[in-house]
Amino acid sequence: MFRYLIRRILWAILLFIIITFVTFVIFFMGPNDPARAQCGGDQARPACLKLVTEHYGLNKPLYVQYWRFFDRLVVHQNLGYSYANGSSVNQTIAKAAPVTASLVFGGAVIWMMIALSLGVYSALRPRSLLDRTAMVFVLIGISAHPVWIGLIFEYVFGVKLGWTPIANYANFFGAPAGSGLPGGPWQWFYHMILPWFTFALLFAALYVRMVRANVMETLNEDFVRTARAKGAPERRILVSHVLRNALLPVVTMLGMDIGVALGGAVFTETVYQLPGLGQNLVVGIQANDFATVQGVVVFATVAILLFNLIVDVLYAWIDPRIRLA
């Protein structure tokens, strides 16, 4: 088990180096000039560009810049400073990550609630009206883009009905002093309702299908038939025998999907103006702000690798055949 763990960690480190280096190369392949952001954009002047380029070391060879970045990251745990606004990327990530976490974990609760109720019911009553309606929901959820769904939700529930805020984030722990902005647990919940449902819709659609298939498959297993033959009540069969087995792969998928989503729920954050990792990534790309882009990539990579590592280790712990493979 220990050797297996070391092997997985070494793989994670190698992957991390490859991903960050590829991001570096991609960013520098085009004629991007991050110095422009600080020099007035389109009307940047030569003297300013020279000064800012030297200030950030952008005139150094690519490998030198990458080494500096890697050294700063590993030795000092410092992601650097934004080329566009001078802010600490560590702080940016620290502020953005809770917003994305609010969206992802809240969304995950909603998508699991939808997926479990619809998926199980559809499996128990195949070809019923609700099953067919659930399949239509699945089709819409998978086909419709989150930006489109978000804008429709905003317009209907925010603008027309006025039931929810149209956009923006309210801090769970209260608004900045004197800002006059909404804050606190209730406002946080109130502002997150639409983003949660928008974010959850796609995943819910996928999970409904997965839960339905798994439950239907498990219902036909021998141990379920045996339980029924022994006279166990239907409710107990469902909860103790069917769901316990059918949901195992669902829970595994959930762990991995949350890891990926933490990397930045780009579309939902953009449409609802949530200052999370996804929005920072989009803004960073638009502003040629490589430091911020790389910061989000590093965070996302670590999140995904970490969740994958946990899943791998759990798998190996549950099933010894995997660690011997």
Say whether residue 55 binds other proteins (CB under 8 A). Answer: yes
Question: In angstroms, what is the minimal distance from the CB of 142 to other proteins?
Answer: 23
Told to check if 159 binds other proteins by CB under 8 A, we report yes
Contact at 8 Å (CB) between 50 and 77? Answer: no
Q: Which of 8, 60, 95, 228 binds other proteins (CB under 8 A)?
A: 95
**Could you say which of 20, 36, 199, 262 contacts other proteins (CB under 8 A)?**
36
Instruction: Check residue 45 for interaction with other proteins (CB under 8 A).
Output: yes
Does 68 participate in binding other proteins (rule CB under 8 A)? no
The yes or no reply on residue 170 touching other proteins (CB under 8 A) is: no
By CB under 8 A, is residue 65 in contact with other proteins?
no
Question: 38 or 214, CB closer to other proteins?
Answer: 38
DSSP symbols for 268-287: HHHHTT--SHHHHHHHHHHT
Best CA proximity match to 2, nearest among 305, 317, 256: 317
Angstrom distances, CA of residue 270 to CA of 1, 216, 261, 285: 43, 38, 14, 13
What is the smallest separation between the CB atom of 316 and other proteins, expressed in angstroms?
41
State whether residue 139 is helix, strand or coil. Answer: helix
Binding residue (CB under 8 A) for other proteins from 23, 52, 209, 303: 52
Q: Whole-number minimum distance, CB 150 to other proteins, in Å?
A: 8
Nearest to 264 by CA among 244, 240, 288, 292: 292
Q: Strand, helix or coil at 162? A: coil
Q: Where are the alpha helices (DSSP H) in 144-276?
A: 146-153, 185-219, 222-229, 234-236, 244-246, 248-262, 266-271
Query: How many residues touch other proteins (CB under 8 A)?
Result: 59
- Closer CB to other proteins, 218 or 279, in the complex: 279
Query: Sign of the C-alpha dihedral, residues 272, 273, 278, 279?
Result: positive
Give the whole-angstrom CA distance, residue 162 versus residue 150.
15
Binding site for other proteins (CB under 8 A): 30-33, 36, 38-52, 54-55, 82, 84-88, 91-92, 95, 151, 154-155, 158-159, 162, 165-168, 176, 178-181, 270-273, 275, 279-280, 282-283, 286-289
